[in-house]
Structure 1
């Protein structure tokens, strides 16, 4: 493992996955990128909330750049996870905006853009019918990423 990507969300399972990936990257000297994602609906909701605040306060706010917002979440989440470690874990943070249906492809594209050879993800347990009808992000990454995938089941 030379360059790893860890996909995170704000759950205990993702916290545990990131801790494992951080230790492994530190011990092997690998580069580590922490990736968070948000949906276009979340972007729109944030813009609507800012507009409502502007109308009430009579002020103006610049709209945050969505990928930067996701990257900031990834950075803060990783700092929170790694603060209890004895050693310093070096990482970079990145963010993407994607729909649920396109999330697997967006994660793979990000891993390829960053030249990652390892992806860490959390998967959900689903019935075979659920996978067939709704797809499965973890399964699509496992089948389509040209590298090692570590999957932690939720």
Structure 2
């Protein structure tokens, strides 16, 4: 493993996954990127909130990057997970804005853009029928990513 991508959300299962991936990356001297994703609606809400804050404070945060809210969440989440670690775990935070139907493709594209050879993600328990009808992000990543995938079930 040279560069790992950990896809996170705000759950205890994701915290545990990130802690495990961080220790593994540290022990193998691999790069670690923590990736959070948000929907376009969440990105718009963040931009609207910043605009209101700018008006109240009389400040300017500049033109918001659509991915910045997700990147900031990834940074804060990882800082929180790694704060009690005795040995520092170095990581880079990244964020993407994706539609629900594009999650697997966008995660794979982010891993390829960052030159990652390992993806860590949390999967959900689904029946075979549910997977066939609704698709499964974890399954699509397992089948389509040209690297190692570690899946922790929620």
TM-score (norm 1): 0.91
> Which moves more between the two structures, 71-80 or 61-70?
61-70
Change (3 A) 1:79 1:125: same
1:27 maps to: 27
Shift of 1:83: 0.6
Structure 1: gaps of 5 or more residues: none
Task: Summarize deviations over 1:70-116 as a string: whole Å, max 9, x none.
Answer: 11110110010001111000010100000111011000001011111
Shifted more, 88-97 versus 127-136: the winner is: 127-136
Normalised by the length of structure 2, the TM-score is: 0.91
Report the CA distance between 1:133 and its aligned residue.
1.4
Q: Which moved more, 1:121-130 or 1:46-55?
A: 46-55
Extract unaligned runs of 5+ from structure 2.
Answer: none
Whether contact under 8 Å (1:17, 1:152) holds in the other structure is yes
Structure 1's consecutive aligned runs of 4 or more residues displaced over 2 angstroms after TM superposition are 44-55, 57-64
* Residues 46, 69 of structure 2: 8 Å contact kept: no
Match in the other structure for 2:100: 100
8 Å Cα contact 1:121-1:138 kept in structure 2:
yes
Please tell me whether the aligned partners of residues 50 and 63 of structure 1 are also in contact (alpha carbons under 8 angstroms).
Answer: no
The CA RMSD measured in Å over matched residues stands at: 1.8
Number of matched pairs: 153
Indicate yes or no: 2:77 matched with 1:81.
no
